Amino acid sequence: GGSAGGNNVSHASSQFDPSVPFFVSQASQAPPEALARAWRKSSVGTSLFGGLAASEKEHRLTNCSWRLWGIALTKERAACARLTQRAAAGYGTEIPEDSDVEDDRNESSTSLKNAASSGEDEPEIKEEAPSELPLWRQPTITWAPPRITPNLYVVMVSIHGLVRGEEMELGKDADTGGQVKYVVDMARELGRHPHVARVDLFTRLVGPNIDGVDESYSVPLEPLDGPDGRSFVRRLQCGDSSVYYPKEQLWPHLREYSDRCVPVIQQTLAALNAQSDDRIRLACVHGHYADAGEIAANVACTLGVPMVLTGHSLGRNKLEHLLRGGRISPAEVEKKYNISRRIEGEERALNVADIVITSTAQEIAEQWALYDGYAPRLASVLRKTAASTRYGRSMALMKVIPPGVG
C-alpha cells in the first residue's frame, strides 16, 4: 500500500492549508486501492467486542496518511538526488527507462553488424552513462573521504561556582561540585573534535582580593587544552566582581551578564573568520543549570542561533521533595533557595531551547514533565509530525546522554 501511495502523492504540489484536515489533503491524492486497504486495516477490531471506536479509526487513518506523505517525500528526495548526480556527471537530467536502454543497446549492436557486413568504417561508440548500466557493469568509483574542516564555534555557559581547568576545588562550597567538572571536561573534549574550531566556556569573573578565593578565578581567559588548544574558559563580570555570590543571589545580574556575552561572542567569531579560509559559524549556545540556561536563552535569541539546555537539577522537582518531607515550610524554601525565581528561569530556558540534554529517561518523564514548557504526549506528536513545526508549533527535543558518553 505504501509503494502505490508513494508513486501518486506529490509533496512539492501540496500546500499547507490550515482549513483542510491533513488526511483529507493527502487522501485526495492517494489511489483508491491504497485507501481501501488502509480502511480495511483500520477497521480490524482488537477488542473483545470486535470493533474499534470511531476516534481510533480516525487516528489510524491519520497515521496512514503521514506514512504515505513520508514515503512520497523520501522518493522525491531520492529522485532529486539522482538527477543532481546525473547533471553533475554531464548526462543530463532525464533518466531513461530500462527498456529504452536495452533498445539502445540492441540498436547499437545491429548497426555494428550491418557496418561490418557492408565494409563501412565502424561508427564511433559513445560510452554509456554509468547510471544507465546495470550495477554489475558500472565502473568502479574510487571513494575519497571528505575534507574535514573545523568550522563550528561552540559557546557554553556555567555561571555559578568556581570554574577553572586545573586543580578544580570541588567541594570548596555548595556551588562548586560535579557540574564544574562536567562542563570543563565537556568543553575540553568538544575542543578536540575535528569539526570544532573553538569552544568558549563562559563563567563569571571573581576577584581578585577576595578572602578564600584564588586569584586564578579573576583571569579573563584560561586555555583548557594547552596554548595551542581550541577550548577556553572565558570569565566576565557578573554583578560586583569583588563579591562571591552564591547561586541563589545571582538572578538580578543575569541579564547584565547576557549583555556582556553578546559582543564578546561576536568579536570572537569575527576573529575566527578573519584567520580561516573556511566560514566559521556559531553552532549553538549551551546553558547549564537554570541560571546559565536563562543567559543562554537571552544570548541565543539575540544572535539567532540554536540553544541547548542541560538542567543538571530542576527546581520543581526539588520543591516537591522539600515540601513532601514536611520539615520546611514553603516560605522558608522560598527564602533559602529563591525557588520561584529558579523555576521561572527554567521555564524561560525550556521555551527557547531546541534540545534539552538529560541523563536518564526518568528525568524526562518525572521531572521535565512537571514544567509548563514540556508535555510528553504533545512533544511526541510534534516530533512525529515534523511538518507542523514549520508553522510555529514546536517543543524542545529531549535527548538522553548519560554522563561520560560521547
pLDDT band at 83 (very low <50, low <70, confident <90, very high): confident
The predicted structure's pLDDT at residue 150? 87
Q: Give kind and range of the element (H or E) at residue 358.
A: strand 355-358
Other beta carbons within 10 Å of 81: 10
Per-residue pLDDT of 296-338, as tens digits, reads: 999 999 999 999 999 999 999 999 999 988 888 999 999 999 9
CA pair distance 44, 61, nearest whole angstrom: 12
- The residues that bridge with 54 in the sheet, in sequence order, are none
Percent of the chain with pLDDT over 70: 65
For residues 252 and 267, is the Cβ–Cβ distance under 8 A?
no
The predicted structure's pLDDT at residue 11? 42
- The residues that bridge with 400 in the sheet, in sequence order, are 358
DSSP 138-150: SPP----PPPP--
Task: Please tell me the pTM assigned to this model.
Answer: 0.64
Q: Which three cell numbers stand for residue 190?
A: 568538544
The predicted structure's pLDDT at residue 31? 67
The SS3 call for residue 283 is strand
Q: Which three cell numbers stand for residue 45?
A: 477490531
Q: Per mean pLDDT, which range of 58-62, 119-123, 247-251, 254-258 is the poorest?
A: 119-123
Q: Give kind and range of the element (H or E) at residue 233.
A: strand 231-236
CA pair distance 348, 367, nearest whole angstrom: 16
The predicted structure's pLDDT at residue 397? 87
The predicted structure's pLDDT at residue 44? 54
Q: Terminus-to-terminus CA distance in the chain, angstroms?
A: 40
DSSP 320-340: HHHHHHTSS-HHHHHHHH-HH
Task: Return the residue matching grid coordinates 568556581.
Answer: 162
The predicted structure's pLDDT at residue 88? 75
Per-residue pLDDT of 6-45, as tens digits, reads: 444 444 444 555 555 555 566 666 666 666 666 566 555 4
